[in-house]
Amino acid sequence: MVELSTTKDGIPNQAEASDRVLQILSEAGRLFATKGYDGTSMRDIAVACGISKSLLYHHFSNKDEIYARVAVGSTLELYLFVRDRVPDGPPSQKIRAFMVATAEYFRRYRWAWIASTTAFWNDPDRHRQKERLTRRDRFENFLRGLIQEAIDAGEIRKVDVPMTGRLILSSLNWMHRWYNPNKSATPEQIADIFFDMVFNGLRSGDAAGSPPAETLKSSRRKARQTPRS
Amino acid sequence: MVELSTTKDGIPNQAEASDRVLQILSEAGRLFATKGYDGTSMRDIAVACGISKSLLYHHFSNKDEIYARVAVGSTLELYLFVRDRVPDGPPSQKIRAFMVATAEYFRRYRWAWIASTTAFWNDPDRHRQKERLTRRDRFENFLRGLIQEAIDAGEIRKVDVPMTGRLILSSLNWMHRWYNPNKSATPEQIADIFFDMVFNGLRSGDAAGSPPAETLKSSRRKARQTPRS
DNA sequence: AGCGGGCTTGACCGGCCGGTCGGTGAAAAT
DNA sequence: ATTTTCACCGACCGGCCGGTCAAGCCCGCT
């Protein structure tokens, strides 16, 4: 038996992989996410796993394949993951569920998520880049559909749909830069707060909509100590 | 006279630098922004400038110094740039001015902005990382102060101030990933739209606040064709 | 006991990396 | 007229990069 890594952060959709492969993907994901693709050498990955560099090439054909398994494997089913968590109901609540589900995906597959969204946002591999954009489009179109639904239902005003989608995705996509898993709210709670702010607006005056389903407990703390954006 | 680069994208705060140095900084910024720090070699920069690699070392002591001039030089005065463009008036309008000014900075110093916010978000140089965090804190604290002002003035409801700041900065910080300078709205217009959405909210029902000062002209286009987030 | 085969290794490769060095030619200073 | 200065270059360096390879180790099977 091999002694495995301490950080078994999830890499999605790797059902039939061996422990060793899962360990490599996990460590590689963490390294890609923190140091970038070019900043992570095969030696780095090998050392992090406590194995020889050659063994990496026994399980994977090259560095790119490791990255592909981490990144593509992670974004592969984001759309399905989120879609399955958006229940029937008022369109606005579907948007909220969309945001919370995306946040849950971020929490569960954090390193893979960061690795896939930061390294290679200009991917030199044309085919892979095209494939990623296709998936991203499908994901974003799904959100735009929900927004359009909410407009048609009269729940939200006639805003610019693509721009609204970008605002919502911005709030989720930027989260990895300031989120600290050891502090305060979970990603799902944060997504819920963001939905409340965007849906109901910051402006005071009218009774400002329903409060978030679950509000975070410790929102009172010194501004100095909270993580930055 | 030397034949200079075609893309003279701004690198701020380089007043007394020679043409050649400005050219190097400009090309390096563009490369760092598109291919990352590790993905950009000194040879790449030299070739992009049409000069020899040695000449880079004549003008700069090493690769890190080039990056520092690009990144630190750009974030150096973001706070001052924005502060000077936030006029007296209702706090909510100061927040809007904050967002529009940040967007203007992004438009003017696009590559430098991207290079400084993407490459090295985990900077191995501890001192420089600390300095950047300090500047980032000052910038973010300024925004939090404006939000608190707006709450105290009763213009916006009692939201979580740090979280609200993160939402606003997310919308601005993520913009470089989908903004296309050849299409539709300027960054300033986008910031204005985002402010409207966040301030007034998406929810319909009440007459939804004042429209943005300048609304973009061509918001009607096929969803397929608009850039993604 | 013998054996096949997957897991694992260390030594090694060509190439690109950031960085150095001695030198050149032309303008500026003396 | 000579020296100094300075932008600029080609050749080169040690080291790390991604990747290869032949060989050992260890296991269950016969």
Contact B55/A at CB under 8 A? no
Min Cα separation A17/chain B (Å): 31
Taking every pair of Cα atoms in chain A, the longest distance, rounded to a whole number of angstroms, is 65
Containing structural domain, residue A103: 74-203
CA distance B133 to A62: 36
Pair B172, B103 in one domain: yes
CA distance A120 to A123: 5
Q: Would you state the pLDDT for residue A220?
A: 43
Contact B162, A226 (CB under 8 A): yes
Pair B42, B86 in one domain: no
Contact B27, B48 (CB under 8 A): yes
Pair A58, A86 in one domain: no
Is B6 among the domain residues? no
Pair B155, B50 in one domain: no
Is A131 among the domain residues? yes
CA distance A19 to A12: 14
Pair B65, B87 in one domain: no
Pair A100, A197 in one domain: yes
Pair A107, A171 in one domain: yes
More confident residue, B131 or B80: B80
Q: Would you state the pLDDT for residue A223?
A: 47
Pair A80, A167 in one domain: yes
The set of residues, in sequence order, having a beta carbon less than 8 Å from that of B155 and lying 6+ positions away, is A203, A204, B90, B91, B92
What rounded mean pLDDT belongs to chain A? 86
Domains of chain A: total = 2
CA distance B229 to A167: 9
CATH classification at residue A28: 1.10.10.60
Pair B59, B88 in one domain: no
Is A105 among the domain residues? yes
Give tens-digit pLDDT for A111-128.
Answer: 999 999 887 777 777 888
Is B13 among the domain residues? no
Give tens-digit pLDDT for A65-99.
Answer: 999 999 877 766 899 999 999 999 999 999 999 99
Is A109 among the domain residues? yes
The reply to whether A61 has its C-beta less than 7 Å from any atom of strand D is yes
CATH classification at residue B156: 1.10.357.10
Pair A25, A123 in one domain: no
Give tens-digit pLDDT for A2-27.
Answer: 333 344 567 776 766 677 889 999 99
Pair B119, B103 in one domain: yes
Is A228 among the domain residues? no
Is B7 among the domain residues? no
User: Which residues in 17-56 of chain A line strand D, with CB less than 7 A from it?
Assistant: 40-44, 53-54
B109: amino acid identity, one letter: Y
Pair B86, B170 in one domain: yes
Residues of A in contact with B137 (CB under 8 A): 228
Copy the structure tokens of residue B208: 């939804």
Q: Is B203 helix (H, G, I), strand (E, B) or coil?
A: strand
Give tens-digit pLDDT for B26-62.
Answer: 999 999 999 999 999 999 999 999 999 999 999 999 9
Q: Would you state the pLDDT for residue B1?
A: 36
Q: Would you state the pLDDT for residue B224?
A: 53
* Short-list A153, A160, A164, A226, CA closest to A194: A164
Is B81 among the domain residues? yes
**H or E stretch at A210:** none
Q: Which of A27, A54, A72 is the last residue of a domain?
A: A72
Instruction: Let me know how many helices (H) and strands (E) chain A has, helices first.
Output: 10, 0
Phi, psi (deg, nearest 5) at residue B203: -60, 140
